[in-house]
Amino acid sequence: MKLTLKVWRQKDAKSKGDFKTYELSDVSPDMSFLEMIDILNEKLIDSKEDPIAFDHDCREGICGSCGLYVNGRAHGLKRGITVCQLHMRSFNDGETVWIEPWRAKPFPVLKDLIVDRSPLDRIMQAGGFISARTGSAPDAHAVLIDHDTAELAMDAAACIGCGACVAACKNASAMLFVSAKVSQFALLPQGHPERESRVLAMVAQMDKEGFGSCTNTGACEAECPKSISITNIARLNREYLKAVIK
């Protein structure tokens, strides 16, 4: 395959960026999208040019660090996958592919395709944890949880914190991320001791970081690689209201 790549290049956070055009041939349909960028970077290095900076780690759709816009969509045109799970067979020979970083004020571009997603970490530090005694693990059946509740909690816990929901939202809202993290604890008895303080602290930190409000357009759910449901946002609102009243 031959591809024309339009890649966002930006020297650092203070510099002004723009798109650079690269031609790449002999692209295998079996390559992952990140492998294709690796090949391009090898060519750039051979030409004494600065390679494209991008985030990646596990390349298994688990860590969430590979978030990119591909042809105007968070993580690309395929639903339910991350960029590292996107393969070049999804593109046509001779196609022009646009590659750019997340576009959200709370996620400033650090270099090229890398953005600062530390605001999500600070939201988790504000309340995304439970209190637990150290020592030996309790018996698995010590706390009984019905199947449906356990499934809902696991579905919420599937969030990998990639930030696609923020990037896809016209308001740069982090409500889907925060609601997933609040839900995974609020649904289970282990998370109940800090139930009120958690939601208040996490929402306060979310607002402090400058994320926008949710207007229920559903773009976050549509672009989420783990298909996190916006029903979690409704749960977050209920948890927050209860905590404020209490």
Q: What is the DSSP string of 211-229?
A: -B------HHHHH-TT---
Last residue of a domain, one of 111, 134, 153: 111
Based on the fold, state whether residues 239 and 129 are members of the same structural domain. Answer: yes
Average pLDDT over residues 40-46: 97
Based on the fold, state whether residues 107 and 8 are members of the same structural domain. Answer: yes
Q: pLDDT band at 129, cuts 50/70/90?
A: very high
Give the tokens for residue 52. 């494209």
pLDDT at 183: 97
Assign residue 65 the CATH number of its domain. 3.10.20.30
- Portion of the chain with pLDDT greater than 70, in percent: 100
pLDDT at 132: 78
Place of tokens 């989420």: 224
pLDDT at 138: 74
Last residue of a domain, one of 111, 142, 163: 111
Compute the C-alpha angle 63/185/199, nearest 5°. Answer: 100
Cα 221 vs. chain centroid, distance in angstroms? 11
pLDDT at 135: 79
Structural domain range at position 129: 117-245
- Portion of the chain with pLDDT greater than 90, in percent: 93
Based on the fold, state whether residues 193 and 91 are members of the same structural domain. Answer: no
Based on the fold, state whether residues 60 and 174 are members of the same structural domain. Answer: no
Give 100's DSSP letter: E
Mean pLDDT of the chain: 95
Digit-coded pLDDT (tens) for 53-85: 999 999 999 999 999 999 999 999 999 999 999
Digit-coded pLDDT (tens) for 147-200: 999 999 999 999 999 999 999 999 999 999 999 999 999 999 999 999 999 999
pLDDT at 143: 84
Average pLDDT over residues 40-54: 97
- Flag whether the pTM goes above 0.85: yes
Q: pLDDT band at 137, cuts 50/70/90?
A: confident
Q: Domain count for the chain, please give it.
A: 2
Based on the fold, state whether residues 171 and 79 are members of the same structural domain. Answer: no
Based on the fold, state whether residues 135 and 210 are members of the same structural domain. Answer: yes
> 57 to each of 54, 63, 243, how far by Cα in Å?
10, 7, 37
Based on the fold, state whether residues 88 and 134 are members of the same structural domain. Answer: no
